[in-house]
Structure 1
Amino acid sequence: MAARSQIKTLRAHKVAALMVDARLYARRTPEEACALLGWETQHLSDLEAAVLPPTLPELEALAAIYAVPVDHFFGNKSLSDEMPRLRVETMRQRLELRNRILGAMIMQARTRRNFSRDDLSMATGLTIEQITDYELGQAAIPVTDLEDITKMLQIDINDWIDSYAIPTRDINFKPFKIPEAPHIQDLPVVEEKSSAPNVTPVASIPEPEAAPVPSIPSPAQHVEPASNGESGTMENKSESISQPQTATRDLKLESDEMLTPELIDFINNPVNRQYLLLASNLSHMPADQLRRIAESLLEITF
């Protein structure tokens, strides 16, 4: 019995140490954790000092606010010793990657608007060197400059906010409440007062027109061939059929004029078919997925 009691005491101290480790990993003070959970500060202090053993619901609540898995409290691995350095390194790489992505997005939007860097420089008041550094990811973009650039390119800056941004503990999320539909009893009753009796209006049904009687030519009459209107209709049909072919040919000529000879040779070369398929697949991928791929490539290169 004494040995079992000692084992339980050691186990309680181990769970208490892992609770403190999870709180340090989450960068939270005891007061902040208790404010989120609605606990007294003394209660959390008793749990972390192994004075009071925690319950499973309490461990689940702590795991939720500390953003750690529940099985952390049943393991042997410390999180607070290794994660701070890793977090700083990851965040630095993330900032560099986001600057490159934003620069590429600016260049892509500017090209689609047929703006040169000189045009964007004159419109925003930035120098060409600044715009070049921003587009190449060589300089961080101040949000004031980014607002001017997106305004000139007619882009909502909210569309460029990373959906995978890490929320901090200072952000307070306001729950979105869906308005309830009014009940039938709550709807106002509209009473119509009319001295005339209620008569349901009946839509007037148009009378069918008499079908024209076809004229039968006499034997002496000569039956004329198809009229000019019918022949004109056939000509219009042939013209409408040839219009898509003409439009396709004009589009091909226009695209040939926009592409450089080197790019045309690259497209016509059958060896580069896989590269073209890869470019087509990347152009249809969502922006969030492209960001994840770029982050993975950055982790490989660093």
Structure 2
Amino acid sequence: MATYQQHIRVRSRKLGLLIYDARISRSRKVESCAKAMGLSVEAYQSIEAGESAPTLPQLESLAFFLDIPLEHFWGNQALSTLVSPDPVEQPAQLKELRQRIIGTRLRMARSTLNLSLSELSLKTNIPVDKIQRYEMGQEAIPLPDLELLASTLEIRNEDLFDQRGMIGKWRSDKVTAQNIMDLPPEVRAFISKPVNLPYLELAMRLSDLSAEKLRGVAEGLLEITY
């Protein structure tokens, strides 16, 4: 009995810490999480304090609300350890870096098209000195200006999106997930089974082959069949 009670106590405390950490990492209030789980604020606070434990349906509701995989609550990784230790300064630094990268991308595109600052200004009605500050990353570019410059310089908006940073990874994961969801149900079911991984890897290798090599593979299969 003592071992059972100790297990429940330890597990409840761990769950409470994981739930608290998940809520903080998503910047959610106690009241909103309690509502998502269908609990009173007091009952929810009791769970975070490790004094009681949630049911599976309650935990599922919270995971959905916070957009966190349910499996997270069976792990040992705190979400807050994946977040920058300086939540105030780091985003500003990242934004400044992104602004310089975007400015460089605009400058390179202008150079490729052999456009002078004056010519670009004439095409966009954006003052030369402002374009110059944009290109040097010295001034943040309002989205309408960026769209106008990108269109004039023949840059797709998507090509200016963050590709490597934290936001870039998030967007990539979301796009990948959406692409998978757009597949027919039977295809999603197939690729979701680990046992089918060899077939997927084979398909990847075949996709890299030239048309001539693919014909050779097909002919070889026909010889084996007949």
The reply to whether TM is greater than 0.5 is yes
Larger Rg: 1
TM-score, normalization: structure 2?
0.56
Deviations 1:272-299 (A, max 9, x none): xxxxxxxxxxxxxxxxxxxxxxxxxxxx
Structure 2 residue ranges without an equivalent (≥5): 172-176, 186-226
SS of 1:41's equivalent in the other structure is: coil
Match of residue 157 from structure 1: 157
Q: How do 1:226-237 residues align onto structure 2 when only pairs under 5 Å count?
A: none
Q: How do 1:40-79 residues align onto structure 2 when only pairs under 5 Å count?
A: 40-42=38-40, 44=44, 47-54=47-54, 65=66, 67=68, 70=71, 75=76, 79=80
Q: How do 1:19-98 residues align onto structure 2 when only pairs under 5 Å count?
A: 19-30=19-30, 32-33=32-33, 39-42=37-40, 44=44, 47-54=47-54, 65=66, 67=68, 70=71, 75=76, 79=80, 83=83, 85-98=85-98
**Offset of 1:85 from its aligned partner?**
4.5
**Offset of 1:84 from its aligned partner?**
6.4
Structure 1 residues 148 and 74: CA distance shift in structure 2, 3 A: closer
For 1:177 and 1:7, how far apart are their aligned partners in 2?
43
**Offset of 1:27 from its aligned partner?**
1.1
Deviations 1:209-251 (A, max 9, x none): xxxxxxxxxxxxxxxxxxxxxxxxxxxxxxxxxxxxxxxxxxx
2:103 counterpart of 1:103: yes
Structure 1 residue ranges without an equivalent (≥5): 168-172, 181-302
**Offset of 1:154 from its aligned partner?**
3.0
- Structure 1 contact 59–70 (Cα < 8 Å) conserved: no
Letter in 2 for 1:141: I
Match of residue 294 from structure 1: none
Q: CA RMSD in A?
A: 4.1
**Offset of 1:54 from its aligned partner?**
4.1
Match of residue 139 from structure 2: 139
SS of 2:115's equivalent in the other structure is: coil
- Structure 1 contact 26–67 (Cα < 8 Å) conserved: no
The number of residue pairs the alignment matches comes to: 172
Letter in 1 for 2:140: A
**Offset of 1:125 from its aligned partner?**
2.0
SS of 1:162's equivalent in the other structure is: coil
SS of 1:137's equivalent in the other structure is: coil
Deviations 1:55-90 (A, max 9, x none): 67876775673548956766496838x946433333
For 1:97 and 1:159, how far apart are their aligned partners in 2?
16
**Offset of 1:109 from its aligned partner?**
0.9
Deviations 1:132-169 (A, max 9, x none): 211121221111211221222233323322351756xx
- Structure 2 contact 147–157 (Cα < 8 Å) conserved: yes
Letter in 1 for 2:80: L
TM-score, normalization: structure 1?
0.44
Structure 1 residues 114 and 87: CA distance shift in structure 2, 3 A: same
Match of residue 123 from structure 2: 123
For 1:68 and 1:18, how far apart are their aligned partners in 2?
12
**Offset of 1:29 from its aligned partner?**
2.9
**Offset of 1:44 from its aligned partner?**
4.7
**Offset of 1:2 from its aligned partner?**
4.3
Match of residue 191 from structure 1: none
Q: How do 1:191-206 residues align onto structure 2 when only pairs under 5 Å count?
A: none
Match of residue 218 from structure 2: none
For 1:155 and 1:76, how far apart are their aligned partners in 2?
40
- Structure 1 contact 123–152 (Cα < 8 Å) conserved: yes
For 2:178 and 2:96, how far apart are their aligned partners in 1?
31
Match of residue 205 from structure 1: none
**Offset of 1:120 from its aligned partner?**
0.8
SS of 2:140's equivalent in the other structure is: coil
For 1:76 and 1:157, how far apart are their aligned partners in 2?
36
Match of residue 270 from structure 1: none
Structure 1 residues 49 and 107: CA distance shift in structure 2, 3 A: same
- Structure 2 contact 134–140 (Cα < 8 Å) conserved: yes
